[in-house]
């Protein structure tokens, strides 16, 4: 189980740069008192992040009330693609709220009309229908339902199998978590769905066999008849790395799905909206899915998500048969439209592509310097990871990863708690508006943290 960050105040050395400002105790006495009150009243599952109470966040910075300022390498877990608190997004939210029009349930509203059209215009031509929802998990649940409904319509009851990947993450609700390939934490599910099966992801690190033959062999080993597969779902990149599949693998997967009338769904909840250096992550593979899921960076702020797909799939259900109370909330839609505009106007996907080489270079340098404890340092665009291992092995080293995150926090660099297999992955995902100087400064802080923690080893 992940551990909470301790609340005992630590005297941090004073730091003052254009991107970081830290002084005094972290957390302060007042912050600690507030966090104690929060912990007493709230589920333990919310205790996993470093102890800062966000007061405001702007661009690439997060501030507390005491004047501390962190350089953010989390984007609030890959949400704030357009940058924190972007004035255009804030203005759109205020304008919509002060109309006032706060909710419409499933009755139409103008921001919903504009957002669905915008998303369709940005999607590949054959993916011409959208369903707006609220969370990423809702989108993957919806994809599961659509893939199975489609499968059974064209192939009968047996065409029900969903293929997903080991170590993947699609959310924490019943179907989403069963499609997820993180096998721990599923003890609460007594009756597992026997028609959801997992195959190894071709990450090139934990699984060195990146050939597509392994996909086919794994299905055969699981006794799955390819024509019984209703759909294949994969994160565009596995968040646990980030791990990308080889392009040839993605293209072979597309062909395989076509040959067996199985739908291909990319979960772009993390990868979408410029994160990987293209608007959609799957563009990197030169492959078009039948469905894709969006969340997080869609609005850079408020809870809104979407499934986009072929109309014959998206229209499988009739009026009122596939809805969710807060779908297409007008304020969330206005925020999403503004965020997409910012991403376009400020060329943020392009910025991610350009700075991608700086991030890659920095992470490789950290890896080279600490190669005994960093097993792999993949990155693409503005998402990267450091896979922390026990010396000379591939076994995840959660404690060291966690200590690096904690040490960076005290140095004014905000990372979220380690993720992935065994909690060994330190993930780097700054807002896409970051500049090169800030990106390099943040990476230097990470390097300093390793140096400090491994001193004397
Ligand atoms: C790839 C992916 N899919 C789905 C989800 C679930 O999204 P949510 O937490 O909004 O339900 C996440 C969340 O981290 C994700 O990274």
- Give DSSP secondary structure letters for 220-248: HHTT--GGGEEEEEEESEETTTTEE--HH
Q: Tell which of 295, 325, 345 closes a domain.
A: 345
Ligand 1 centroid distance, CA of 99 (Å): 31
- Domain that includes residue 386, residue range: 10-82+347-454
Which of 142, 272, 295 should be mutated for ligand 1, with most atoms under 8 A from CB?
295
Specify the ligand 1 atom closest to the Cα of 168: 1
Work out the pLDDT band at 26, boundaries 50, 70, 90. very high
C-alpha 36 to ligand 1 mean position (Å)? 28
Task: Name the band, by pLDDT with cuts 50, 70 and 90, for residue 182.
Answer: confident
Supply the DSSP string of 71-116, one letter for each residue. EESSHHHHT-TT-BT-HHHHHHHHHHHTTT----TTS--HHHHHHH
SS3 state of residue 457: coil
User: Among residues 92, 410, 139, which one has the least CA distance to residue 268?
Assistant: 139
Q: Assess if residue 2 is contained within a domain.
A: no
**Chain centroid offset of residue 3 CA:** 21
370 in the same domain as 422: yes
**339 vs 316: CA distance, rounded Å:** 30
**109-123 pLDDT per residue, tens:** 999 999 999 999 999
Q: Which residue's CA is minimally distant from atom 4 of ligand 1?
A: 170
Ligand 1 binding residues, C-beta < 6 A? 135-137, 140, 169-171, 235, 239, 267, 269-270, 295
Residue 158 belongs to some domain of the structure: yes
* Sign of the dihedral through C-alpha 134, 136, 141, 146: positive
In a domain, 441, yes or no: yes
- Say what the pTM is: 0.97
Q: Are residues 403 and 437 in the same domain?
A: yes
**Given the structure tokens 């802080």, which residue do they identify?**
445
Mean pLDDT of the chain: 97
Tell me the C-alpha distance between 96 and 82, whole Å: 19
Summarised one tens digit per residue, pLDDT across range 370-411 is 999 999 999 999 999 999 999 989 999 999 999 999 999 999
Residue 1 reports pLDDT greater than 90: no
Query: Strands 61-63, 69-72: parallel, antiparallel or unpaired by DSSP?
Result: antiparallel
The answer to whether 81 and 432 have CB atoms below 8 angstroms apart is yes
What is the C-alpha separation between 262 and 145, in angstroms, rounded?
13
CATH number at residue 436: 3.90.1150.10
């Amino acid at each position: 189980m992940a551990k909470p960050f301790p609340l005992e105040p630590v005297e941090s050395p004073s730091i003052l740069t254009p991107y970081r400002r830290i002084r005094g105790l972290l957390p302060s006495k007042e912050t600690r008192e507030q966090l104690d009150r929060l912990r007493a009243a709230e589920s333990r599952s919310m205790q996993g992040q470093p102890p800062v109470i966000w007061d405001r966040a702007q661009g690439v910075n997060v501030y507390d009330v005491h004047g501390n300022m962190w350089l953010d390498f989390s984007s609030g877990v890959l949400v704030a693609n357009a940058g924190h608190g972007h004035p255009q997004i804030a203005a759109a939210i205020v304008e919509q709220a002060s109309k006032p029009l706060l909710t419409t349930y499933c009755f139409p509203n103008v921001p919903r009309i504009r957002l669905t059209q915008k998303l369709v215009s940005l999607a590949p031509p054959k993916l011409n229908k959208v369903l707006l929802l609220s969370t990423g998990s809702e989108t993957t649940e919806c994809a599961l339902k659509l893939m199975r409904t489609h499968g059974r319509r064209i192939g009968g009851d047996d065409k029900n199998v969903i293929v997903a990947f080991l170590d993947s993450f699609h959310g924490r609700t019943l179907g989403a978590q069963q499609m997820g390939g993180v096998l721990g934490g599923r003890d609460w599910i007594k009756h597992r769905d026997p028609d959801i099966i997992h195959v190894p992801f071709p990450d090139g690190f934990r699984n060195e066999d990146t050939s597509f033959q392994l996909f086919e062999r794994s299905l055969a080993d699981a006794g799955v008849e390819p024509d019984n597969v209703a759909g294949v779902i994969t994160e565009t990149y596995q968040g646990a790395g980030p791990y990308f599949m080889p392009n040839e693998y993605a293209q072979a997967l597309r062909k395989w799905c076509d040959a067996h009338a199985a739908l291909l769904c990319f979960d772009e909840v993390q990868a979408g909206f410029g994160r990987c250096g293209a608007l959609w992550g799957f563009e990197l593979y030169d492959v078009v899915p039948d469905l894709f899921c969006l969340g997080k960076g869609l609005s850079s702020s408020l809870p809104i998500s979407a499934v986009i797909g072929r109309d014959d799939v998206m229209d499988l259900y009739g009026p009122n048969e596939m809805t969710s109370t807060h779908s297409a909330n007008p304020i969330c839609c206005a925020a999403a439209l503004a965020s997409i505009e910012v991403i376009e106007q400020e060329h943020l996907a392009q910025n991610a592509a350009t700075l991608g080489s700086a991030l890659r270079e920095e992470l490789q340098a950290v890896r080279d310097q600490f190669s005994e404890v960093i097993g792999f340092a993949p990155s693409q665009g503005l998402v990267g990871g450091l896979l922390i291992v026990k010396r000379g092995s591939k076994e995840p080293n959660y404690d060291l990863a966690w200590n690096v995150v904690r040490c960076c926090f005290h140095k004014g660099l905000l990372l979220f708690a380690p993720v992935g297999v065994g909690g060994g992955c330190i993930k780097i995902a700054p807002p896409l508006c970051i500049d090169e100087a800030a990106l390099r400064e943040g990476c230097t802080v990470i390097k300093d943290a390793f140096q400090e923690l491994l001193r004397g080893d």
